[in-house]
Amino acid sequence: MKKTILAGAAFLAFVAQGYSQQKKVTVYTTAQNTEMRLAQNGTLEFHAMPQPFETEPCVFVDPKVTFQTFQGIGGALTDASAETFYKLPKEKQAELLKAYFNVNNGIGYTFSRTNIASCDFSSGTYAYVADNDSALKTFNVQHDLQYKVPFIKAATQAAGGTLPLFVSPWSPPAWMKDNNSVLQGGKLLPRFYQAWSNHYVKFIKAYEAMGIPVWGLSVQNEPMAKQRWESCIFTAEEERDFIKKFLGPTLAKNGLGNKKLIAWDHNRDLLYQRASTLLQDKEAAKYIWGIGYHWYETWTGSDMQFQNEKLVNQAFPNINLVFTEGCIEKFDFNRLQDWAIGEKYGYSLVNDFNSGTVAWTDWNILLDENGGPNHVGNFCFAPVHADTKKGELIYTNAYYYLGHFSKFIRPGAKRVVSSSSRSQLQTTAFINKDGKLAVVVLNASDKEIKYNLWISGKAAPAVSQPHSINTLIVE
């Protein structure tokens, strides 16, 4: 993995103080069977500890060695999230926006995604062009003006006026595909490659004309999945050729060459195979900013395959890895307070960042009490659900687990070495541009674990509660 030595002014000032002389470590905790949810619950002090014994559990942090630059953490502003949002009372709408996008009174999201045309988390299928209009003369985004566009604008305002947004298609219009359907996979017909490339441009320019800047785009959501909802198949070779011959040049020709183009946008299982096929072709690779991935490879019974991320990071150190989607599937209202939901998020976040990921995007930021709306019955969990009948918000522990990262790790931060001497304590750490060090410690075990936060020969004794997550801020 590519590593660097950070030499920014803030970091140099931090070093000048001396890690061993740090006077303040503030601990924030979320823990099962307690009332603590992102709760500040104490401060720690450093003392001399030159060489720990193996009997003394430690989390070793070395802020002098840095890795990737952090882009942000956020969620998807889908049709379903937007529709649910506008079913809430005004005061609950304001509460949700503050909870997600305010860094002081919420968890400070700094990244977002939305769908191009319909996806499963839409109330029905829709398109932006009339059938057989390959010239796209009828293109318009009128559908999005009711819910999605005002929702994205409200979220951006709540985030302080800046919220990087990437956009993803689930399917081209039915008439562009060999199965004549937006559902059940199918492939984009080669004669419509250029028209479909123009469609991305039309969408981006339409949104930007309405005051919604588009930071980037992915080529195709889940291009190797034939789904009962909107989907479209691209093999690695097809995506490679589509990027280098059509989409990449079309974006450049229309003044959109600065948009961050993300390829793959599917699970970790095929991640290296896809990345190598795309990035070993220089003509395709020159257009690709990042490789996106999801966490649903677990549908096969597999564990999350972080090793494939690491291989991509090692083989292509200049490419950006982006977690583009993940959620807990098979919604059950009775599971809303299931602690395992948040722990899955924590486990993925720690290991994805340690594998080189620069940005992490949750799926729907809000769903209703049924895990929707979803026009094909693919109901799922979100970190926050709305009970639209009662006009209330329900926060799952996933919201708090996400907040242990998004609230304290800010854009421009650098990941640093954070190494645990116990497998039960999983950890990652970042140094922010202001010099504050954020160390995340995840404990998914049934046991309380006492450990030392160890930096340069000094240690601060800490306690990790059973089924908990801590963020320790060193300043």
**Residues labelled as active-site residues:** 222, 325
How many CA atoms does the CB half-sphere of 318 hold within 13 Å? Answer: 6
> Among the residues of 77-140, which ranges form H helices?
79-85, 90-101
Cβ pair 231, 280 in contact under 8 A: no
Strand partners, 293: 266, 323
Count of other CB atoms within 10 angstroms of residue 333: 13
Cβ pair 86, 366 in contact under 8 A: no
Q: What is the DSSP string of 132-198?
A: T-TT-TT---GGGGTTHHHHHHHHHHHTTS---EEEEES---GGGBTTSSSBS---B-GGGHHHHHH
3-class SS shares of the chain: helix, strand, coil, % to 5: 30, 30, 40
Q: How far is CA 413 from CA 92, 142, 321, 365, in A?
A: 32, 38, 16, 24
3-state secondary structure (DSSP) of residue 386:
strand
Q: How far is CA 34 from the centre of its chain?
A: 27
3-state secondary structure (DSSP) of residue 290:
strand
Classify strands 384-387 and 392-395 as parallel, antiparallel or unpaired.
antiparallel
